[in-house]
Amino acid sequence: MDAALARLVDQVQTARAANGHFRIVGGGTKDFYGNALQGQPIDVRPLAGISSYEPTELVVSVRAGTPLAELEALLGERGQHLAFEPPRFGPGATVGGMVAAGLAGPARAAAGSVRDHLLGATLLNGRGEVLTFGGQVMKNVAGYDISRVLAGSMGVLGIICEVSLKVLPAPTATATLRFECDQADALRRLHAWGGEPLPISASAWWDGLLILRLAGARAAVEAATLQLGGEAIEGALAATFWQGLRDQRDEFFVNAAKAIDAGAALWRLGVPQTAAALALPGEQLVEWGGAQRWLCTPAPAAALREAAAAAGGHATLFRANDHHADKSAGCFHPLSAPLARFHRELKKAFDPDRVFNRGRLYAEL
């Protein structure tokens, strides 16, 4: 065990004995996400560095404190990337934070989520044990898939120390098309196109415009561009747009930040892609072929939760002022009774003394 990891283990053992608890900290770029932070910070950044990268194996193993930017730069040198396009809320974002938050970008519907690309992980649990699950290979069904549960776990099961991720070649060609249409029409088009073998890699609708990204082999992208029509957006401009959308620096999110200052909240609704346009006040940005709806709205939590549940999905209070009433009631959608029980029991199984990230995901965890 190296010195940085040994120090973390020691901190956890000491805190556990003294009934202390921690909030796990990386770059701190997602402190806004989830329920209120509790406990003393425990910094994972000393646990940094790429452990191994073999482009022909399509796998990179990287320690959790490594800056995401460093990882992406390394992959870029070999023409590869993280296909799920994780958002970067600041230059300090770490790989561990990316996995713990489990957020994916515009390519999610086509390329899959963080969890889909997680092959293995080393976890420091609440008993101070360092455990490795999964591995560095694509197919692995030895025992429960504990590494994948860490994606989106918000640190409640322990400290993610190292992860192995599946990486993929970056597409050789991309094209971006623009269509003027209302939301209902955009959803209709997306559902129809989705049923065809088209290389659609991302979509976004906001304010009467549907933006579509194609990516893949040159021949496939060119054929699809001809078939779909629309107005082609020039490469550099398109790249800026998709980067901005991914990192939430796009105009919709800039406006949302201002609205949040004025008391509104930014909600993320995960719904079936075929859900109709949601009848709620405020601006809506539709991504993932209709499966992700961003809402910047003054509407109360109950209205959002009800609309999401009625559509067969769930609503997350993504960003709000700290003193926003709904934030203290919990950011994440309430769970069914059996799922809530499994959450409590899993917390007990991994972190019986609640050493890590108390309440960050759900109050009782």
Partner 1 sequence: MNAALPAEATDRALRAERQRAVVAALAAVLPPHALLWHGEDTVPYDCDGLTAYRQQPLVVALPETEAQVSGVLRACHALGVPVVARGAGTGLSGGALPHALGVTLALAKFNRIVSVDKASRTAVVQCGVRNLAISEAAAPLGLYYAPDPSSQIACSIGGNVAENAGGVHCLKYGLTLHNVRKVRGFTVEGEAVEFGSDALDAAGLDLLALIVGSEGMLAVITEVSVKLVPKPKLARCIMASFDDIRKAGDAVAAIIAAGIIPAGLEMLDKPMTAAVEDFVHAGYDLDAEALLLCESDGTPEEVAEQIERMLEVLAGCGAMRMEVSKDEAQRLKFWSGRKNAFPATGRISPDYMCMDSTIPRKRLADILLAIQQMETKYQLRCCNVFHAGDGNLHPLILFDANDPDQLHRAELFGADILETSVEMGGTVTGEHGVGIEKLSSMCVQFSPEEREQMLALKRAFDPQGTLNPGKVIPTLARCAEYGKMHVKRGLLPFPELERF
Q: Does 141 bind partner 1 (CB under 8 A)?
A: yes
CA distances from 251 to 12, 105, 148, 241, 257 (A): 42, 16, 33, 9, 10
Q: Which residue, 20 or 112, is less far from partner 1 as judged by CB?
A: 112
Of the candidate residues 11, 125, 183, 225, the single one contacting partner 1 (CB under 8 A): 125
Q: 128 with 13: CB under 8 angstroms? A: yes
Site string for partner 1, 33-72 (x = CB under 8 A): ---------------------xxxxxx-x-----------
The single residue among 28, 92, 194, 230 that binds partner 1, judged by CB under 8 A, is: 194
In the list 10, 306, 345, 364, the residue contacting partner 1 (rule: CB under 8 A) is 345
What is the nearest approach in angstroms of partner 1 to the Cβ of residue 337?
Answer: 8
Exposure string over 48-60, b if 16+ CB within 10 A, otherwise e: beeeebeeeebbb
113: Cβ–Cβ under 8 A, 6 or more apart, which residues?
84, 102, 104, 151
DSSP code of residue 55 = G
Backbone angles phi, psi at 118, to 5 degrees: -90, 120
Instruction: Tell whether residue 116 is a contact of partner 1 (CB under 8 A).
Output: yes
Q: Which residues contact 41 (CB under 8 A, 6 or more apart)?
A: 22, 23, 25
- CB proximity list for 348: less than 8 A, separation 6 or greater: none
How long is the chain? 365
- What residues contact residue 125 under an 8 Å CB cut-off, 6+ apart? 131, 157, 158, 350, 351
Contact 290, 194 (CB under 8 A): no
Provide the minimum distance between the beta carbon of 197 and partner 1 in the complex, in angstroms, as a whole number. Answer: 4
Give yes or no for residue 143 binding partner 1 (CB under 8 A). yes
In the complex, the smallest distance separating the C-beta of residue 2 from partner 1, rounded to whole angstroms, is: 13
Q: Does 219 bind partner 1 (CB under 8 A)?
A: yes
- Candidates 27-35, 40-48, 148-156, 258-266: pick the segment binding partner 1 (CB under 8 A): 148-156
The residue from 10, 180, 196, 231 that contacts partner 1 (CB under 8 A) is 196
The residue (of 14 and 342) whose beta carbon lies closer to partner 1 is 342
User: Considering CB under 8 A, how many residues would be counted as binding partner 1?
Assistant: 88
Asked if 339 interacts with partner 1 (CB under 8 A), we say yes
Alpha helix stretches (DSSP H) within 22-133 = 68-77, 95-101, 108-111
Q: Which residues from 226-265 bind partner 1, rule CB under 8 A?
A: none
Q: How far is the CB of 92 from partner 1 (least distance, A)?
A: 25
As measured in angstroms, the least distance from the Cβ of 189 to partner 1 is: 11
Place of tokens 């910094």: 43
Spatial separation of the C-alpha atoms in residues 265 and 206, rounded to whole Å: 17
* Residue choice 292, 301, 327, 354 for contact with partner 1 (CB under 8 A): 292
CB of 335 to partner 1, least distance (A): 5
Residue in 94, 102, 85, 10 with CA at minimum distance from that of residue 360: 102
Tell which positions 306-325 bind partner 1, by CB under 8 A. Answer: 312-314, 316
Report the site for partner 1 in 156-185 (rule: CB under 8 A). 156-157, 168-170, 172
- Pick the piece of the chain touching partner 1 (CB under 8 A) from 3-11, 93-101, 142-150, 201-209: 142-150
Does position 109 bind partner 1 by CB under 8 A?
Answer: yes
Give the Cα separation of 44 and 224 in Å (integer). 45
Comparing CB distances to partner 1, the nearer of 226 and 237 is: 226
Q: Residue 218 interacts with partner 1 (CB under 8 A)?
A: yes
By CB under 8 A, name the one of 273, 280, 303, 324 that touches partner 1: 273
Give, as one character, the DSSP assignment of residue 94: B
